Amino acid sequence: ELYGILEILERKVVQLEECRIILLTKQDLELAKALKNNEFKLYYQPQVDLKTGEIVGAEALIRWISPDKGNISPIEFIPIAENTGLIVPLGQWVLKTACTQAVDWKLAGLPPLQIAVNISAQQLEHEDFVADIIDILAQTGLDPKQLKLELTESVLVRNINLTLEKFKQLQELGIEIAIDDFGTGYASLSYIQNFLFDILKIDRCFIKDITQNHKNSAIVSAIIRLSRQLNFKVIAEGVETQLERDFLAHQGCDLIQGYLISPPLPFEQFCEFYSNRK
């Protein structure tokens, strides 16, 4: 009787595994097709220096404009690309496009800006990651000081020694490293202890209701103070109101990014927005 049950279970496991393979392959193919057909686009969201009020940088955020399904959020397709490994060529496309466009807006007569690019753990772990970045910088002619990489805390738990080594290589080139969504991962403070960042990016969940929520305001002012003492620049993401901006300026936050300044914009609109502010 027991063997009968085991046999049924085994068959179910095989069926489930087959289902999983088919599902992954279908999504993988869709994404791969989208990459081949140029269905991705980068949007840019300005980052503003709180002391001068000037735009000093922009974060590149990927969008999938699918002809059959419309606009698909990176929150939906980045995890799929990470599962299937397609994040590596997709991430390379992002880096190359962002660096090319950062040079383009200099060519358009706009003052140089720092460009922030989001990087997934798998990309960083890829053995050619640093070499590919060096190639892209050489091909586009972008100054490495104008490139900033945003990594989330999940990157840091995977292979500490390898990550430390890659950070060092990138920073020696002049590239800045930002820790994204700070405070939402696990054991954040031990990362600060072990890794050398240039910038700490406070997650939007702490910025929300900062002026009313006593816990959030305490957390944010503590993160800003810690960053200053450890010599990190600090940026707040998801700033939506003037009250939030005032609070952050008063606490000594360096940079802000959020709907209060502008939502992420397509390249052409971003150039227009930037030149109008100048």
Q: Does 118 sit near Mg ion (CB under 5 A)?
A: yes
Q: Does 150 sit near Mg ion (CB under 5 A)?
A: yes
Nearer to ligand C2E, 57 or 91 (CB): 91
**Residue 191 one-letter amino acid:** Y
Q: Does 262 sit near ligand C2E (CB under 6 A)?
A: no
Among 30, 153, 176, 180, interactor with Mg ion by CB under 5 A: 180
Q: How far apart are CA 142 and CA 153, in angstroms?
A: 27
Tokens representing 38 are 């140029």
Binding mask 157-196 for ligand C2E (x = CB under 6 A): -----------------------xx---------------
The nearest distance, CB 221 to ligand C2E, in angstroms, is: 20
Q: How far apart are CA 139 and CA 128, in angstroms?
A: 16
Task: With CA atoms as reference, report the closest residue to 141 among 88, 171, 109, 100.
Answer: 100
Stretch that binds ligand C2E, among 24-32, 72-80, 171-179, 215-223 (CB under 6 A): 72-80
Task: With CA atoms as reference, report the closest residue to 30 among 92, 77, 94, 71.
Answer: 77
97 binds, among ligand C2E, Mg ion, none (CB under 5 to 8 A by kind): none
Nearer to Mg ion, 30 or 60 (CB): 60
What is the b/e burial string over 90-104, where b = at least 16 CB atoms within 10 angstroms of the residue's CB? bbbebbbbbbebbbe
Q: How far apart are CA 146 and CA 233, in angstroms?
A: 15
Nearer to ligand C2E, 30 or 237 (CB): 237
Nearer to ligand C2E, 9 or 102 (CB): 102
- CA torsion sign for 86, 155, 42, 109 is negative
Q: In angstroms, how far is the first alpha carbon of the chain from the final one?
A: 79
For residue 110, give every residue at least 6 positions away whose Cβ sits within 8 Å of its Cβ, in sequence order, or none.
271, 274, 275, 278
Nearer to ligand C2E, 18 or 87 (CB): 87
Nearer to ligand C2E, 12 or 158 (CB): 158
Stretch that binds Mg ion, among 24-32, 187-195, 235-243, 270-278 (CB under 5 A): 235-243
**Which residues in this chain contact ligand C2E in the complex, by CB under 6 A?**
45, 61-62, 73-75, 78, 91, 94, 118-120, 150, 180-181, 204, 237-240, 258-259, 264
